[in-house]
Amino acid sequence: MDIRQERPFQKPRRTVQRVFLHCSASDRPEDDAIEVIRRWHLERGFSEVGYHYFIRKNGLLEPGRSLERIPAAQKGHNRNTIAICLHGLHKERFTEEQFDALRDVALGIHDAYDGEISFHGHCEVSPKACPVFDYREVLALDRFGTLGLSGVQSGKQYPSVEEEPRLSLGSRGPAVEHLQELLFVRVDGIYGPRTERALKRFCLAEGLPVGVGVEPAHWRRLLGRVALRDGAV
């Protein structure tokens, strides 16, 4: 049975612009629970556990601090953020179940904010080596911290560039669904403003033509990145 929650994120009322990723600095099984982290933080004088989510080794996503509250996680950079912590200390001991759960919640957050949100490691604002795993690869982040292609399931058979049609604003159907999956936006099969914005962000990050819809060059880059990530090339 899959113990991960399906798109568990519920958008808070406060402004959120960035998501920060952390690791717990412990691989001990007895520390693998949000209640342990809560106890640690209370002992340090926190009013509550500092993270909004905690991901256990088995992939279970546990809620922590209310999303309506600012986290206590990355000093000097807490406002307008969400903090997610994965249990672990050594990078080789993080599990695929944890990374799958991280991708799931990241996708939920990304969708809730129409992609207008970025993902970062604690190490980007602190001298700490946290998180110790390659979060950029796990979430396929671009240089701006925008969520990439990691939500597309590994092992899926993708059409070739030649099989994918040109698309533009107003297009509908399975090809649009595939495009939305690759762009990490809500899949509804309708090429509307949300999909257009996501495509523009992708094009700007990849140096592709903007404002021409989806052409073979766009499909080639999208499908090529998935193939590289999944080890197909």
Domain annotation for the chain: domains and CATH numbers:
18-138 (3.40.80.10), 161-230 (1.10.101.10)
Which of 19-23, 30-34, 217-221 has the weakest average pLDDT? 217-221
Note the pLDDT of residue 8: 57
Kind and range of the H or E element at 62? strand 61-63
pLDDT tens sequence across 100-142: 999 989 988 988 888 889 999 999 999 999 999 999 989 988 8
pLDDT above 70 as % of the chain = 87
Asked about 51 being catalytic, the answer comes back as yes
Burial of 90 (0-12, 13-18, 19+ CB in 10 A): exposed
Note the pLDDT of residue 229: 45
pLDDT over 90 (residue 97): yes
Asked about 128 being catalytic, the answer comes back as yes
61 to 7, 73, 85, 158, 222: CA distances (angstroms): 11, 18, 10, 29, 29
pLDDT over 80 (residue 72): yes
Which of 132, 52, 140 lies closest to 88, judged by CA?
132
115 near 147, Cβ under 8 Å?
yes
Q: Which of 41, 51, 110, 191 is catalytic?
A: 51
Note the pLDDT of residue 58: 95
Contacts of 179 (CB under 8 A, 6+ apart): 167, 191, 195, 199, 214, 222
pLDDT band at residue 6, thresholds of 50, 70 and 90?
very low
Kind and range of the H or E element at 218? helix 216-230
pLDDT over 60 (residue 201): yes
Asked about 11 being catalytic, the answer comes back as no
pLDDT over 50 (residue 38): yes
Q: Which of 87, 130, 135, 203 is catalytic?
A: 130
Q: Could you identify the residue written with the tokens 């993708």?
A: 158
Q: Which of 52, 110, 120, 122 is catalytic?
A: 122
Kind and range of the H or E element at 25? none
CA–CA gap between residue 191 and residue 213 (Å, rounded): 10
Q: Which of 22, 110, 120, 218 is catalytic?
A: 22
